[in-house]
Amino acid sequence: MQTNGKFTVAIHICTYMHYSGKELVTSQQIADSVKTNPVVIRRIIAKLREAGIIGSIAGAKGGFFLNKPVEQITLWDIYLAVKENDLFYKPKPNPDCAVGSNLASLVDDSFEAAELSMKGALSNTNISMLNERLEKILNTEDMLSC
Amino acid sequence: MQTNGKFTVAIHICTYMHYSGKELVTSQQIADSVKTNPVVIRRIIAKLREAGIIGSIAGAKGGFFLNKPVEQITLWDIYLAVKENDLFYKPKPNPDCAVGSNLASLVDDSFEAAELSMKGALSNTNISMLNERLEKILNTEDMLSC
DNA sequence: TTAATTGTAACAAATAAAGTTATATAAGCG
DNA sequence: CGCTTATATAACTTTATTTGTTACAATTAA
């Protein structure tokens, strides 16, 4: 998986939670769908929780739930929630070189603008829409759920 | 460095080549500016060469040169030249799960649109502009070049 | 012919990401 | 209350990716 794998898994988590129709899903159930470990899922959910996208209930019969209307959970919200680094690597200054010592400030605006430009594309899609697309695909197939 | 480190270094390479004012620069000179190994530089240049951005001359007194007018080398051109993976991780389908088996096709359009949306921001800036910004900064400072 | 340089393969080291184990905490239920 | 199931999170291990290094063939100027 790449650096951005968390984003994709986070979308998977939200889509799965909505699609399942259950009020509460466990990290184990999600992990089965994603084919990974429950701890990996809980780590990503921790970030989605901080962002107010997911809520959790501890203890027996506990689990996770979507904490906002699915129409209001966009891919951009999820992107921001799980983002850890800037999109592009910020060069470390090399003080011995005119170019190397200033490169970061030269590209900073462009890098920020590029990342922000994705907002438009990613805000267009929300979890409700992903679920609609999914239902449409599944109506034309026979498919097992997990 | 992140996955996108090559992009930043590639910008550094082009900016350095133009700023140096030399007709030919060696991978060693660039490596000193970036603070890395000449082979690392040549690997990135190999991609910039494939994209027609940089040309090379082998042998003694050889080196690299910018193969296009600096006004026509945009950050988007460089991004495409050194890009190896898609911007976002494409989920591997999990055939045992309705969500997991279809997620890739659900997010594909959004992911592609997000990546393409950066074109606007990154096409706005070219190597000539970065050099102008650099000269402006250096005029107000005293700085060593390497 | 020698020295300097690119081009590239092969390998090593470092880094980052993901996966795993372990354990504390919380809550439902008999 | 004590057992079971679940989250929360820390610590550690494993794996994968990226970067760095070494080595060497090919090229060209002097």
Please tell me the total number of residues recorded for chain B in this structure: 146
pLDDT at A139: 87
A70-129 tens-digit pLDDT:
999 999 999 999 999 899 998 889 999 999 999 999 999 999 999 999 999 999 999 999
What lies within 8 Å, CB to CB, of B59 at 6+ separation is none
Contact A16/A25 with Cβ under 8 angstroms? yes
pLDDT at A1: 47
Residues of chain B with pLDDT below 70 are 1-3, 141-146
pLDDT at B142: 61
pLDDT at B1: 46
pLDDT for A144 beyond 60? no
Q: What's the mean per-residue pLDDT of chain A?
A: 93
pLDDT at A91: 87
pLDDT at B139: 87
Contact A74/A81 with Cβ under 8 angstroms? no
pLDDT at B112: 95
SS3 (DSSP) at A65: strand
pLDDT for A4 beyond 80? no
> Strand C: which bases are under 7 Å from protein Cβ?
3-10, 15-22, 25-29
Give A59→chain B minimum CA distance, Å.
Answer: 26
A98 and B145 within 8 Å at the Cβ level: the answer is: yes
Residue B78, by phi and psi: left (phi above 0), alpha (psi -120 to 50) or beta? alpha
pLDDT for A66 beyond 60? yes
Output the six-digit token pair for A103.
Answer: 């490169």
Q: How confident is the model at residue A145 (pLDDT cuts 50, 70, 90)?
A: low
**C-alpha to C-alpha distance for A48 and A46, rounded to whole angstroms:** 6
Instruction: Count Cβ atoms below 10 Å from residue A127 Cβ, excluding itself.
Output: 26
**C-alpha to C-alpha distance for B106 and A94, rounded to whole angstroms:** 43
pLDDT at A143: 55
Determine whether the distance from the CB of A40 to the nearest atom of strand C is below 7 Å. Answer: yes
**C-alpha to C-alpha distance for B81 and A14, rounded to whole angstroms:** 34
pLDDT at B134: 96
A11-49 tens-digit pLDDT:
999 999 999 999 999 999 999 999 999 999 999 999 999
pLDDT at A137: 93
SS3 (DSSP) at A139: helix
pLDDT at A92: 87
**C-alpha to C-alpha distance for A39 and B95, rounded to whole angstroms:** 22
Question: What is the identity of the amino acid at A81?
Answer: A
Contact A53/A10 with Cβ under 8 angstroms? no
Determine the distance between B134 (CA) and C3 (C1') in angstroms: 36
Strand B54-57 vs strand B63-66: parallel, antiparallel, or unpaired?
antiparallel
pLDDT at A95: 92
Q: How confident is the model at residue A146 (pLDDT cuts 50, 70, 90)?
A: low
pLDDT for A2 beyond 60? no
| Range A128-137 burial, b when 16+ CB lie within 10 A, else e | ebbbebbeee
Residue B65: closest CA among B100, B113, B111, B14: B14
Determine the distance between A48 (CA) and C28 (C1') in angstroms: 26
pLDDT at B145: 59
Distance of CA A127 to the CA centre of its chain: 11
pLDDT at A140: 83
Q: Find where tokens 């990996």 sit.
A: A40
Nearest-CA residue of chain B relative to A1? B89
Contact A41/A31 with Cβ under 8 angstroms? yes
A128-142 tens-digit pLDDT:
999 999 999 998 866
Nearest-CA residue of chain B relative to A106? B130
**C-alpha to C-alpha distance for B139 and B127, rounded to whole angstroms:** 18
Long-range contact set of residues B100-105: C-beta below 8 Å, sequence gap at least 24:
B100/A12, B100/A16, B100/A33, B100/A34, B100/A35, B100/A146, B101/A143, B102/A134, B102/A137, B102/A138, B103/A8, B103/A11, B103/A12, B103/A15, B105/A133, B105/A137
- From residue B14, how far is each of A3, B18, B46, B52, B132 by CA, in Å? 26, 6, 13, 12, 13
